[in-house]
Amino acid sequence: MSKNQQQIGYLPDERPPIWKLLLYAIQQVIVMFPATVAVAIITGFHISTTIFASGLATICFILVTGRKIPLYYGSSFSYVAAIGSLMASEALAGNTLNERIAIAQFGIVMSGLISIAAGLIIKRFGRDSIEKILPASITGPIAMVIGLTLAGTALTDAQSFANAINVPEAQTALANNMAWIVSLVTLLSTILFSVHFKGFLGQLPLLLGPALGCLTAFIINLTTGINLFKVLPETANSGFFALPIFTLPIPNWAAVAALMPIAIATIPESTAHVYQLDIYVNDLAKKKKSGKKYDIADRLGHNLIGDGIGDIVAGFIGGPAGTNYGENISAMAITRVFSIPVLIAAAIIAMIISCFTPLINAIYAIPTAVIGGLEIYLFGAIAAQGIAIMVEKKVDLFSSKNIALIATIMIIGLGGQFAFGGNIPFFGLEVPCVAGAAIFGIILNILLGIGDKKKAPVEEKGPKLG
């Protein structure tokens, strides 16, 4: 009986009490904030606008998908290289920052049409049509690659004091050591809280762990004088309250050519996220004995349409292209809080934060080492969810075909990240490693399926969802 009582959590259609809901929502904002802000800084987009766009696009996504898919929409790193090269291109050299953003926006808006088209195709022909192209032997490794390609980022951040307030050059070695202490405190406390805390506190490890990490950084500052807290290098806002800078798209077909193909490559990633979510939500429903079956995987078409709408909404007001965030899925899996009202609250909080410069600065001030400690857990959880997909769908790991798919996807994805920094040079193109791995896996799966019609039903028996 006590075992059943410990199986607490919130399913997508359940709403926590308001005070719990707000704490869960803040936790989701903290999880999405670093990556979303990083994309804005790297691409040159306005930070406040990017944060606002993530919140607005999330609400639109949830409404478009009928409040059935608990996902948070944030800025995607898949588009970073394409947007960055477009913004820095000679053709746009004479334009102001806002004009360059507006031109990129047009490509982002148009790229949303790709996801919508893919979603409509899946809705028309059914999920079986996409599972033939993207079986669990592909989506599982893709999810693992998504998490593992971020391993370097997590460890770099864990020992970093980037943008710290006060670190003299003579104390950089000491600052590195202090950063490791902060990241380890954050990581270990977050894990211990998630494993050993029961009840309500057991659902707040991603809030309590970073809080303890920040307290450690504060104590280090008092005792050593090394201040690991950060200062935002540049904000769109000035003063206390200021609306984000909204810009309208400027039609430009070069932007379409640069950004639209990226949307095709993000479809396998988004598919993997939906399958991850389906497994964890239904597992919680089973443990809670709710008697409900959540058909999240069957709503893949709705998810892709929602992704496309999110790109159009974000792109239309001046935000980067995005996707549903694996970090937030990991946060939900760890805390067992999949409540859609929580995600709506998180989106509203993000939009409010974007209008108040002190709030943006306060969250951004969290030491990089704290974020790094959290990332080790979150990014690893994304990879673990890839394994869960293959286990849940009973992928035959002794099948030569499945071994070939898993092996090549993993090596192309990870090798592309660690050998080439994320973009694989290929016949004059810069192919994002996750996208390249996914595309290769899809093509290989099709080629290996030629002339194997009779064996196909046996192969698909495990991965097929019921």
- Residues 6 or more apart whose CB falls under 8 angstroms from that of 38 comprise none
- Residues 6 or more apart whose CB falls under 8 angstroms from that of 13 comprise 67, 340
Distance of CA 352 to the CA centre of its chain: 21
The predicted pLDDT at position 238 comes to: 61
Tokens of 157: 């951040």
> Are residues 16 and 10 in contact, defined by beta-carbon separation less than 8 angstroms?
yes
> Are residues 179 and 228 in contact, defined by beta-carbon separation less than 8 angstroms?
yes
Phi–psi pair at 324, nearest 5 degrees? -75, 140
**Residue 144 CB coordination number (10 Å):** 24
Mean pLDDT by 10 residues, the chain (466 residues): 58 95 94 86 85 96 95 84 76 87 94 92 81 86 87 90 70 89 96 87 87 95 89 62 90 86 76 89 92 91 94 95 87 93 97 90 87 89 87 91 96 92 85 85 92 52 42
The string of DSSP letters for 169-203 reads GGGHHHHHHHHHHHHHHHHHHHHHHHHH--TTGGG
Write the CA distances from 96 to 26, 80, 388, integer angstroms: 35, 19, 47
The string of DSSP letters for 205-219 reads HHHHHHHHHHHHHHH
The string of DSSP letters for 266-283 reads HHHHHHHHHHHHHHHHHH
Q: pTM above 0.75?
A: yes
Of the candidates 231, 300, 244, 238, the residue with the CA atom closest to the CA atom of residue 270? 300
**Residue 223 CB coordination number (10 Å):** 9
3-state SS track over 297-311: HHHHHHHHHHHHHHH
Phi–psi pair at 164, nearest 5 degrees? -65, 155
The string of DSSP letters for 44-55 reads T--HHHHHHHHH
Burial class (CB in 10 A: 0-12, 13-18, 19+), 93: exposed
**Residues facing residue 322 across a β-bridge:** 75
